Amino acid sequence: MSATPASPLNLLGMPRQRLAEQFEQWGERGFRATQLVRWIHQRGVTDFSAMTDISKALRQHLAAQAIVRPPEIALERGSDDGTVKWVLRLADGNAIETVFIPEDDRGTLCVSSQVGCALDCTFCSTAQQGFNRNLTADEIIGQIWLANRRLPVPEGRSRAVTNVVFMGMGEPLANFEALVEAIDLMLDDNAYGLSKRRVTVSTSGLVPALDRLGEVTDVALAVSLHAPNDELRDRLVPINRKYPIRELLQACRRYTRDGGHHHRVTFEYVLLAGINDQPEHARQLIDLLREIPCKVNLIPFNPFPGSPFVRPSMNAVRAFEGLLAEAGFVTIVRRTRGDDIDAACGQLVGQVVDRSNRPARMIRLHAELPVQPGASA
């Protein structure tokens, strides 16, 4: 057995296959990795000594070589509408945000993929803090691990989180390796067992990385379009200057296999008053997307301090939606959730201080992280 490494290996974000290889390097049987993955992700256990169906020798070895360490909760706030927001403190002192959005039939966790973001979309508050670093797979999977430990489990379900969307801070496709490892665990039946339709990668349109993603998985795809022509999109989503709309849409078709093998792509479109919300924009959008099997997700702009944009009136939003619906597009207007705790899209700024100072009702969460030996989640 090798000497203790300087900083212990965190096993939280390690996909089962990689864990098995690591075990084999340690001279252990690879299949033990399955047991470990179940302990960590299904039972939420981080203490190797509690993993009773693993041999004592292996447990001791693990304790000497490795750790299972999620990020720390710096702040946890519940909204009146059931939304919960966490500010998580990473080992290096950086902070990220994660939001849980409950609905009748599902519980969606909105996860961050980077500390800050480099893409500089003009209407997004994360852009304002610039780019700091990529999250590790531990830090991405740690968000779902923590949410499942903290949230009460609704009746008839085994876990609170049923869906994951990469719509928190950061551009997931700019953090490719960690993204793919985290997705692996989300889909693994021994870990979270989510179906591919319940994991959504949202991207501003990094075309080469999108093609690579299509080679390794077919999780659901959301694309932040936000404008129906290059002139406007160049200004709102600057990465468009590198990968213009035509190239992006071709990549979407490749990813979804034209709506065949993979499922349909969702186009996100933030509505900014007077900028991209006029009937002419809706008509351009209809022409642009006519041939692509897709859904359109309209997001009325969520304002944040210092932003020059304004949310359109509800009438303008309905009119825009109406034109798309008339043209036959499945169109959804995203409801703003967690308004009272600044948990809406584009408002996750990674500040530990509570900027609003508004009181928020805490929902009933587990007071401590329960360990349930023997319980299969």
Contacts with ligand SAH by CB under 6 A lie at 121, 123-124, 167, 171, 202-204, 224, 268, 270, 299, 301-302, 304, 345-346
**Least distance (Å) from ligand SAH to the CB of residue 116?**
11
3-state SS, one letter per residue, for the chain = CCCCCCCCEECCCCCHHHHHHHHHHCCCCCCHHHHHHHHHHHCCCCCHHHCCCCCHHHHHHHHHHEECCCCEEEEEEECCCCCEEEEEECCCCCEEEEEEEEECCEEEEECCCEEECCCCCCCCHHHHCCEEEECCHHHHHHHHHHHHHHCCCCCCCCCCCCEEEECCCCCHHHCHHHHHHHHHHHHCCCCCCCCHHHEEEEECCCHHHHHHHHHHCCCEEEEECCCCCHHHHHHHCHHHHCCCHHHHHHHHHHHHHHHCCCCCEEEEEEECCCCCCCHHHHHHHHHHHCCCCEEEEEEECCCCCCCCCCCCCHHHHHHHHHHHHHCCCEEEECCCCCHHHCCCCCCCCCCCCCCCCCCCCCCCCCCCCCCCCCCCC
Lookup: tokens for 136: 């590790």
**Least distance (Å) from ligand SAH to the CB of residue 309?**
8
Which one from 117, 124, 294, 345 is the annotated catalytic residue?
A: 345
Which DSSP string do the residues of 322-342 spell out, in sequence order?
HHHHHTT-EEEEPPP--GGGT
Please calculate the CA angle 57-60-66 and round it to the nearest 5 degrees.
Answer: 130
**Which residue, 34 or 128, is less far from ligand SAH as judged by CB?**
128
**Least distance (Å) from ligand SAH to the CB of residue 190?**
28
**Which residue, 308 or 374, is less far from ligand SAH as judged by CB?**
308
28: annotated active-site residue: no
97: annotated active-site residue: yes
Spatial distance between the Cα atoms of 228 and 43, rounded to a whole number of angstroms: 46
Spatial distance between the Cα atoms of 51 and 2, rounded to a whole number of angstroms: 22
**Least distance (Å) from ligand SAH to the CB of residue 301?**
5
**Which residue, 23 or 123, is less far from ligand SAH as judged by CB?**
123
φ, ψ dihedrals at 310, nearest 5°: -130, 145
**Least distance (Å) from ligand SAH to the CB of residue 346?**
2
**Least distance (Å) from ligand SAH to the CB of residue 88?**
17
**Which residue, 48 or 304, is less far from ligand SAH as judged by CB?**
304
Spatial distance between the Cα atoms of 173 and 278, rounded to a whole number of angstroms: 30
Which one from 97, 139, 171, 268 is the annotated catalytic residue?
A: 97
**Which residue, 145 or 309, is less far from ligand SAH as judged by CB?**
309
**Which residue, 61 or 311, is less far from ligand SAH as judged by CB?**
311
**Which residue, 139 or 268, is less far from ligand SAH as judged by CB?**
268
**Which residue, 210 or 270, is less far from ligand SAH as judged by CB?**
270
**Least distance (Å) from ligand SAH to the CB of residue 26?**
37
Say what the alpha-carbon torsion angle 239, 240, 243, 245 is, to the nearest 10 degrees.
150
Using CB atoms, what's the residue nearest to ligand SAH? 346
**Least distance (Å) from ligand SAH to the CB of residue 269?**
8
- Residues involved in catalysis: 97, 345
